[in-house]
Amino acid sequence: MRKIPRLTDTTLRDGDHAINHSYTPEMVRAIVKDLDDAGVSVIEVSHGSGLKGSCIQQGFSVHAEFDLISAAVETAKQAKIASLFVPGIGTSKELREAVEIGIDMIRIAVHCTEADVTEQYFRMAKELGIEAVGFLMMSHTQPANVLVEQAKLMEAYGADCVYVVDSAGAMVQTAVREKVSALKDALSIEVGFHGHNNLGLAIGNTITALEAGANQIDGTLRGLGAGAGNAPTEVLVAVLNKMGIDTGINLSILMDTAEEVIAPLIHSPIVIDRDNLSSGYAGVYNSFLLHVRKAAEKFGVGASEIMEELGKRQAIAGQEDWIIDVAVKLAEKKV
């Protein structure tokens, strides 16, 4: 058997985007119990945009985020509970509160050129005694040498692992191999990979990342996530088993949970449709999609047209206000 990677399931964070932030404490308990029983190592729980993400710009949660985190912490018996934290959305107050509730890990996410804003949060996480993981979002936008520089900053601040994050599902396997390998060669800490499926490569890219030396990988049950979704956790485990990598995770439990618990939550199929493909091809952040579709309908323009223009502008997380600006300008051109 080959070395076992650590698998983080982020159904209860990335999947939050796909169901319009409508998780309930009861749903969280049911999903965490099954993932925990299956032997998943880490379960991420928070608003899709991280701690304090429930707002008009990111989308309001139906239930209070900390109630959901509490439900997860109370339910898990062996899995670590993690939350996402985006500086500028969350603050040290929310990070401290999440630790008081009982999270074991914080995943600190920034655009892949902005690691310098994370120092105080990594240092706080270590002072509070929890694991800290760095997330270099939109990693497709920068060459490997830039990602290495940013990852080294996170390592210096106290990160236990740094992820190459394909936030737009825009990376192909050659890029994944190059970037993960570069981080592995440059860092003394672990390296992770988080993929989306806009180009149909979430599983393939994750396997490529492992072959390049990644120690940690992410998935979501049924691929539930922003845009075209994530690498499905149950499929990842099945593929790893086929490759002779014993994850120690019970595949039958994952398949049953994906089919019986997650599938009924999905309002519309998570497929690589025109909008999702255009998002991945243009390299636009996946969480923009719901907002893009609403703007496209409101102003009578095509969602793929908005995506194309956002891609040209190299829009990043936090620039959601551009969506309306682009839609208005496209509508004016049609008059």
Please tell me the predicted confidence (pLDDT) of residue 2.
Answer: 55
Where are the CATH 1.10.8.60 domain residues in the chain? 274-334
Residues annotated within a binding site for Mn(2+)? 14, 194, 196
User: Residue ranges of the alpha helices (H) in the chain?
Assistant: 14-18, 25-38, 65-75, 92-101, 119-127, 144-157, 173-186, 202-211, 233-242, 251-257, 274-282, 289-299, 303-313, 321-334
* Separation between Cα atoms, residue 211 and residue 198, nearest integer Å: 21
Per the CB < 8 A criterion, the answer to whether 31 and 12 are in contact is yes
Where are the CATH 3.20.20.70 domain residues in the chain? 6-264
CATH architecture group of domain 274-334: Orthogonal Bundle (1.10)
**Domain 6-264 - what CATH class?**
alpha beta
Per the CB < 8 A criterion, the answer to whether 136 and 105 are in contact is no
Catalytic member of 17, 21, 47, 140: 17
* Separation between Cα atoms, residue 44 and residue 219, nearest integer Å: 10
Low-confidence ranges of the chain (pLDDT < 70): 1-3, 317-318, 335
- The angle that helices 274-282 and 303-313 make with each other, rounded to 10 degrees, is 10
Residues annotated within a binding site? 13-14, 167, 194, 196, 285
Residues annotated within a binding site for substrate? 13-14, 167, 194, 285
The neighbour count for residue 263, using CB atoms within 10 Å, is 13
Q: Give the Å distances, CA to CA, from 244 to 2, 182, 237, 239.
A: 7, 26, 11, 9
* Separation between Cα atoms, residue 285 and residue 109, nearest integer Å: 13
Residue recorded with tokens 């990842």? 236
Torsion (CA) 122, 127, 128, 131 in degrees, nearest 10: 50
* Separation between Cα atoms, residue 82 and residue 107, nearest integer Å: 7
Please tell me the predicted confidence (pLDDT) of residue 22.
Answer: 94
Please tell me the predicted confidence (pLDDT) of residue 1.
Answer: 38
- 73: tokens are 């912490």
Longest pairwise C-alpha distance within the chain? 63
Q: Is 17 a catalytic residue?
A: yes
User: Which amino acid is it at 155?
Assistant: E
Please tell me the predicted confidence (pLDDT) of residue 317.
Answer: 67
